[in-house]
């Protein structure tokens, strides 16, 4: 690799304090970022990681504190200043134009001009190709962004930042949206970047990842840096304790399941998407009272559609869904709620919550029409508020006031609102899709415990997660989905992670395998 080496630079944040009305988001934070290494910034949601990086990126102005670049004090008034000083940012939610090509997206805002001021798309293509080759990003400049899987879109963002000549690239929760195989590819890219002399700041709350990729780890809690950890010697438990401020249970403790009668009986269910593709293909399984069944699989293999069909948000093309022996295949979501189905949807901001409504309103979002909260069309908000206050306390939802908008909550607390709403009802079946995606360690522990508790009280639980660890830890039985079919029904106590991984990739342990990579690609195109 012959590449111009990046001049080594040190960025130093000294005593940064940033206050928002009612909270101190950053409290006298000191942080050093160097080129040529990976700095992991870990902390729970709401610990101030993103605020700190937004200060660094010139989006927020710090109330106190200074920024020094190679020892010289500097001030960023806007992201433009930060970019000029060599700082690049890849946000958690990508800033891409979906129906533009990769090359068009990459040059957006800094378009190379041809004669007469026209866009020189050939040069844009060449630029993408050059950066892509140098860092092994494997990008097609002409691909349209909306057709690309999330992992590839992220690489488009990386190229954007690299073309603006960033010395340090800040990634805000980059792996939250990635599949396990994409995460591995992403780490490879990070290592390549660092070898080329660039610096990487990796914001995450996944400790395993921080330990794997970090050269240094800084832990934030409640706006303060509470400690440093050396990835070579630190353990997840130690860092988790620093993050949360108390010892954390990282594994799920649960007794043996005592399965009862079948609550959910899915018979030959198929779902066809609007483009006419069969995304769920003749799926049959049973979930019994008092057991947790986990659905493992790489994202995009039909799990989303399966859950939507079960909850009534999507029509089944064929097959039957029985709830407590009653056919609910044609029932509306409302009728299924009434029949005892609780649903924690996979995307809390898009589906699970109306973030502009208050926490109270969100806590009754699926039950406002119950006699408990309304008579006829007249809402009884006082009763709703009483119940909400009780749920906020019982489910440890951290908010000063349940009358605030749900958008003021951190991701973990937003998820707790949904969990509280769905599990506090008298339900027979709990559908939980990605119940802990983007949720901090403390909340994960809590949500897992609640789900196990729900099982022990005799509820049938179906967990869908792309985090294999989560499925293996929680489930009493694991089924694997691949290209819309259930390809395995396994006992997590006897099967190895490796073998489940092989099923997820579409091959069969011990059999002459289809390459794992082909499985991941298949998954990507199946989206």
Partner 1 sequence: MTETLKALRYTALAVVAALFVSAFIIVITDIAALREGDVLTALDTLRLAYWSLFKGSFGSLRAISATITGATPLMLAGLAVSVAFKAGLFNIGATGQMLAGGMTGLWVGFALDVPGPIHVTLALVAGALGGAVFGAIPGVLKARTGAHEVITTIMLNSIAGFLTLWLLKTEAFKREGRDDAISKLIDEDAKLPRLFWFMGTRIDLQAHLGFVVALACVAVFWWLLNRTTTGFELRATGLNQEAARYAGMRTRSLMVVAMTLAGAFAGLAGASEVLGLYGFASASLAGDIGFDAIAVALLGRSTPVGTAVSAILFGALQAGGRQMQVNTDVPIDLIIVLRALIVMFIAAPLLVKAMYRLKGEAQSHGQTFRGWGG
Task: Confirm or reject binding of residue 355 to partner 1 (CB under 8 A).
Answer: yes
Rounded to a whole number of angstroms, the minimum distance from the CB of residue 443 to partner 1 is: 20
Task: Confirm or reject binding of residue 311 to partner 1 (CB under 8 A).
Answer: yes
Rounded to a whole number of angstroms, the minimum distance from the CB of residue 154 to partner 1 is: 24
Q: List all residues 6 or more positions away from 16 whose beta carbon is below 8 Å from its beta carbon.
A: 26, 28, 29, 30, 31, 52, 55, 62, 64, 65
Rounded to a whole number of angstroms, the minimum distance from the CB of residue 488 to partner 1 is: 30
Which of the residues 452 through 511 are near partner 1 (CB under 8 A)?
A: none
CB 479 within 8 A of CB 503: no
Alpha helices by DSSP H, 149-265: 150-163, 180-195, 207-213, 236-244
- Name which of 427 and 505 has its Cβ closer to partner 1: 427
Among 337, 385, 416, 437, binds partner 1 (CB under 8 A): 337
CB 314 within 8 A of CB 308: yes
Among 39, 124, 243, 353, binds partner 1 (CB under 8 A): 353
Among 250, 313, 389, 513, binds partner 1 (CB under 8 A): 313
Structure tokens belonging to residue 129: 């190709």
Count of residues touching partner 1 (by CB under 8 A)? 27
The span from the CA of 503 to the CA of 512, in Å, is 12
Rounded to a whole number of angstroms, the minimum distance from the CB of residue 354 to partner 1 is: 4
* φ and ψ at residue 400, rounded to 5 degrees: -70, -25
> Which of 223, 429, 405 has the alpha carbon at shortest distance from 311?
429
**Window 378-397: contact mask with partner 1 (x via CB under 8 A):** xx-x----------------
The span from the CA of 430 to the CA of 288, in Å, is 11
Q: How many CB atoms lie within 10 A of CB 498?
A: 8
Among 23, 365, 449, 487, binds partner 1 (CB under 8 A): 365
Task: Confirm or reject binding of residue 24 to partner 1 (CB under 8 A).
Answer: no
Q: How many CB atoms lie within 10 A of CB 328?
A: 18
Rounded to a whole number of angstroms, the minimum distance from the CB of residue 421 to partner 1 is: 9
Task: Confirm or reject binding of residue 294 to partner 1 (CB under 8 A).
Answer: no
Quote helix, strand, coil % in the chain, to nearest 5. 35, 25, 40
- Name which of 144 and 354 has its Cβ closer to partner 1: 354
Residue 65, phi-psi category: left (phi > 0), alpha (psi -120 to 50), beta (remainder) = left
- Name which of 264 and 353 has its Cβ closer to partner 1: 353
Rounded to a whole number of angstroms, the minimum distance from the CB of residue 387 to partner 1 is: 15
- Name which of 400 and 510 has its Cβ closer to partner 1: 400
- Name which of 97 and 518 has its Cβ closer to partner 1: 97
Q: Which stretch binds partner 1 (CB under 8 A): 146-154, 277-285, 356-364, 453-461?
A: 356-364
Hey, what's the torsion of the CAs at 371, 375, 380, 386, to 10 degrees?
-20
Among 121, 144, 357, 495, binds partner 1 (CB under 8 A): 357
Among 342, 352, 435, 492, binds partner 1 (CB under 8 A): 352
Q: Which stretch binds partner 1 (CB under 8 A): 116-124, 269-277, 342-350, 442-450?
A: 342-350
Task: Confirm or reject binding of residue 339 to partner 1 (CB under 8 A).
Answer: no
The span from the CA of 1 to the CA of 230, in Å, is 29
Structure tokens belonging to residue 504: 């997820």
Among 64, 228, 356, 390, binds partner 1 (CB under 8 A): 356
Task: Confirm or reject binding of residue 361 to partner 1 (CB under 8 A).
Answer: yes
Rounded to a whole number of angstroms, the minimum distance from the CB of residue 332 to partner 1 is: 7
Q: Which stretch binds partner 1 (CB under 8 A): 93-101, 129-137, 263-271, 358-366?
A: 358-366
Among 343, 416, 448, 455, binds partner 1 (CB under 8 A): 343
Q: How many CB atoms lie within 10 A of CB 256?
A: 7
Rounded to a whole number of angstroms, the minimum distance from the CB of residue 211 to partner 1 is: 36
CB 319 within 8 A of CB 168: no
Using the Cα atoms of residue 134, residue 197, residue 217 and residue 213 in order, give the sign of their dihedral. positive
* φ and ψ at residue 162, rounded to 5 degrees: -65, -35
The span from the CA of 372 to the CA of 384, in Å, is 8
Among 116, 232, 256, 377, binds partner 1 (CB under 8 A): 377
Among 277, 334, 394, 497, binds partner 1 (CB under 8 A): 334
Task: Confirm or reject binding of residue 350 to partner 1 (CB under 8 A).
Answer: yes
Among 28, 351, 509, 527, binds partner 1 (CB under 8 A): 351
Rounded to a whole number of angstroms, the minimum distance from the CB of residue 334 to partner 1 is: 3
> Which of 43, 83, 85 has the alpha carbon at shortest distance from 203?
43
CB 423 within 8 A of CB 454: yes
Q: Which stretch binds partner 1 (CB under 8 A): 294-302, 343-351, 433-441, 501-509?
A: 343-351
> Which of 338, 337, 318 has the alpha carbon at shortest distance from 329?
318
The span from the CA of 224 to the CA of 226, in Å, is 6
Q: Which stretch binds partner 1 (CB under 8 A): 2-10, 276-284, 329-337, 425-433?
A: 329-337
Q: Footprint of partner 1 on this chain (CB under 8 A)?
A: 21, 311, 313, 332-334, 337, 343, 345, 350-357, 361, 365-366, 368-369, 374, 377-379, 381
């Amino acid at each position: 690799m012959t590449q111009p080496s990046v001049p080594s630079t040190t960025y130093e944040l000294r005593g940064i304090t940033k206050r928002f009305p009612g909270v101190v988001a950053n409290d006298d934070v000191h942080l050093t970022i160097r080129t040529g290494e990976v700095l992991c910034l870990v902390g729970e949601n709401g610990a101030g990681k993103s605020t700190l990086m937004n200060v660094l990126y010139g989006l927020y102005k710090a109330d106190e504190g200074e920024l020094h670049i190679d020892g010289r004090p500097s001030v960023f008034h806007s992201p433009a200043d930060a970019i000029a000083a060599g700082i690049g940012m890849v946000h958690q939610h990508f800033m891409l134009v979906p129906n533009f090509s990769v090359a068009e997206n990459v040059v957006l805002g800094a378009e190379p001009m041809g004669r007469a001021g026209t866009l020189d798309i050939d040069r844009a293509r060449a630029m993408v190709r050059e950066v892509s080759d140098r860092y092994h990003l494997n990008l097609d400049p002409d691909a349209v962004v909306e057709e690309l899987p999330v992992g590839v879109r992220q690489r488009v963002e990386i190229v954007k930042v690299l073309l603006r000549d960033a010395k340090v690239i800040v990634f805000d929760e980059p792996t939250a949206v990635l599949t396990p195989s994409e995460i591995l590819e992403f780490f490879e890219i990070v290592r390549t970047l660092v070898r080329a002399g660039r610096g990487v700041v990796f914001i995450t709350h996944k400790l395993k990842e921080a330990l794997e990729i970090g050269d240094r780890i800084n832990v934030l809690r409640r706006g303060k840096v509470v400690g440093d950890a050396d990835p070579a010697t630190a353990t997840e438990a130690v860092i988790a304790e620093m993050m949360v401020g108390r010892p954390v249970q990282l594994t799920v403790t649960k007794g043996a399941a005592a399965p009862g009668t079948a609550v959910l009986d899915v018979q030959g269910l198929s779902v066809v998407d609007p483009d006419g593709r069969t995304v769920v293909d003749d799926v049959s399984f049973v979930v019994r009272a008092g057991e947790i069944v986990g659905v493992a699989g790489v994202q995009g293999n039909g799990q989303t559609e399966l859950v939507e069909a079960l909850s009534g948000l999507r029509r089944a093309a064929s097959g039957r869904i029985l709830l407590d022996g009653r056919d609910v295949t044609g029932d509306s979501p409302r009728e299924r709620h009434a029949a005892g189905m609780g649903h924690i949807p996979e995307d809390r901001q898009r589906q699970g919550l109306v973030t502009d409504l208050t926490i109270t309103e969100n806590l009754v979002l699926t039950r406002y029409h119950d006699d408990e909260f309304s008579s006829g069309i007249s809402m009884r908000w006082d009763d709703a508020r009483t119940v909400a206050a009780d749920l906020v306390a019982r489910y440890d939802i951290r908010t000063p006031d349940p009358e605030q908008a749900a958008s003021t909550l951190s991701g973990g607390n937003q998820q707790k609102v949904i969990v509280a709403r769905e599990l506090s009802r008298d339900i027979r079946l709990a559908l939980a899709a990605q119940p802990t995606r983007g949720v901090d360690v403390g909340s994960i522990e809590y949500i897992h415990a609640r789900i196990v508790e729900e099982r022990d009280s005799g509820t049938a639980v179906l967990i869908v997660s792309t985090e294999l660890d989560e499925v293996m830890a929680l489930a009493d039985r694991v089924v694997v989905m691949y290209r819309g079919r259930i390809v395995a029904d396994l006992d997590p106590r006897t099967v190895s992670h490796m073998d489940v991984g092989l099923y997820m990739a579409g091959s069969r342990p011990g059999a002459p395998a289809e390459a794992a990579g082909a499985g991941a690609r298949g998954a990507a195109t199946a989206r």
